[in-house]
Amino acid sequence: MTTRLLKSSDSLAYHRTLDYYSESPLHQLTTLANWLEVNKIFIKDESARFGLKSFKALGASYAIHQLVSTQPKIQTFCTATDGNHGKAVAFSARMHQKQAVIIVPKQTSELRIKSIEEEKALVIRYDGDYDGACREAEQLSDENGWQLVQDVAWNRYKKIPALIMAGYLTLFKELEGMLNTHGRPLIDVIFLQAGVGSFAASGVWYYVNRYMSRKPKIVIVEPLQADGIQESFKQHKLSAPKGDQSSIMAGLNCGIPSSIALAILQSGVDAIIRIDDDYAREAMQMLYFPLEEDISIIAGESGAAGLAGYLAILKEDKFKPLKKQLNITKDSRLLFFNTEGDTDPESFHKNATGL
């Protein structure tokens, strides 16, 4: 079902019909590439997408559009979130003159909650972690007749997460003609950050199906405190992270991965790494205070996670074999995705400036 939906959906065509749509920019950081001893560094910058500072609205808007098209009587959409997905659901619901109820786990910052409320959503605080918030959202939706729009799949709940993943394909399809020629990618290694894995799986599905055996190598990056993808790979089944989900990379502070995402990741990932928060801070600062002529990029903690993963590979002895396995050399071309801007301005200021 997931593969069929991904193949048949054309989220890019839908997004192009929206008045507020514009293609997110692709930046090339030449000086940073020289400093990090590779040939090219590209960053697809989602920090201004739809004015929400995050790529998440691509998935929520497409899924809600599909739901409203077939079930126009839906009045209320509900989801659990660490922040960005909930804001995207609230935004998308409001665009269709619908209501949104957003469940947030206890570690969600006040600024993220306020940002969701600004989209006219009702926010319910859940005194527990992300997985518990997801269960709460499902239960409340069942009790109240709301439509659940969760970006994580489980048994008997797969179609809507698949539609969200299909929505994310827009940002990868926007790169067509920029980073490929004659069906060959102009990049060698891609870094994709992962929470529940839906964004990363969308990227893996795109590159596997677009390039098949010629696809770039793909590295998944997770926080040390929220390593559900790596743990699931180790256990050969859906597994909870070992950490306490307390990373500054708030958008990645997730629990058990999405079942449909995990299956796709297993088909095309070359490596999975866990990183300390210090690498996220370093990457944020590196992007915000650029070298020489490079453009300044506002990358939130989760947005900088891909670059942070590469910094960890460069600096930690345990990753030396991985760098060799990925064949990263002075001729390599790397692609990163800045999936969020300063979605929590206070946290961004603290971590990007070091003040």
- For 87-125, b/e burial (b = at least 16 CB within 10 A) is bbbbbbbebeebbbbbbbbebbbebbbebbeebebebee
Task: Note the pLDDT tens digit of each residue in 223-252.
Answer: 999 999 999 999 999 999 988 899 999 999
Q: What is the DSSP string of 106-150?
A: TT--HHHHHHHHTTT-EEEE-SS-HHHHHHHHHHHHHHHTPEE--
Catalytic residues: 56, 82
CATH 3.40.50.620 for domain 2-55+162-353, yes or no, is no
Distances (CA, A) of 176 to 29, 173, 180, 185, 241: 19, 5, 6, 9, 35
Task: Note the pLDDT tens digit of each residue in 271-303.
Answer: 999 999 999 999 999 999 999 899 999 999 999
Q: Is the pLDDT of residue 213 over 90?
A: no
Task: Note the pLDDT tens digit of each residue in 80-92.
Answer: 998 899 999 999 9
**Single-letter code of the amino acid located at 71:** Q
Q: Are 303 and 55 in contact (CB under 8 A)?
A: no
Can you give the pLDDT at residue 181? 74
Can you give the pLDDT at residue 355? 65
Question: Which sequence spans correspond to the domains of the chain?
Answer: 2-55+162-353, 56-152
Whether 2-55+162-353 and 56-152 share one fold: the answer is: yes
Can you give the pLDDT at residue 249? 96
Task: Note the pLDDT tens digit of each residue in 305-317.
Answer: 999 999 999 999 9
What is the Cα–Cα distance from 298 to 46, expressed in whole angstroms? Answer: 10
What is the Cα–Cα distance from 113 to 82, expressed in whole angstroms? Answer: 9
What is the Cα–Cα distance from 55 to 85, expressed in whole angstroms? Answer: 9
* Confidence class for position 183, pLDDT limits 50, 70, 90: confident
Q: Residue 309 burial by CB count (10 A; 0-12/13-18/19+): exposed, middle or buried? A: buried
Q: What is the DSSP string of 183-230?
A: TEES-SEEEEE-SSSHHHHHHHHHHHHHHGGGPPEEEEEEETT--HHH
Distances (CA, A) of 233 to 48, 156, 170, 324: 33, 22, 27, 21
Can you give the pLDDT at residue 102? 98
Helix or strand holding residue 273 (H, E):
strand 271-275
What is the Cα–Cα distance from 202 to 63, expressed in whole angstroms? Answer: 14
The matching CATH number, chosen from 3.30.160.20, 3.40.1110.10, 3.40.50.300, 3.40.50.1100, for 56-152 is 3.40.50.1100
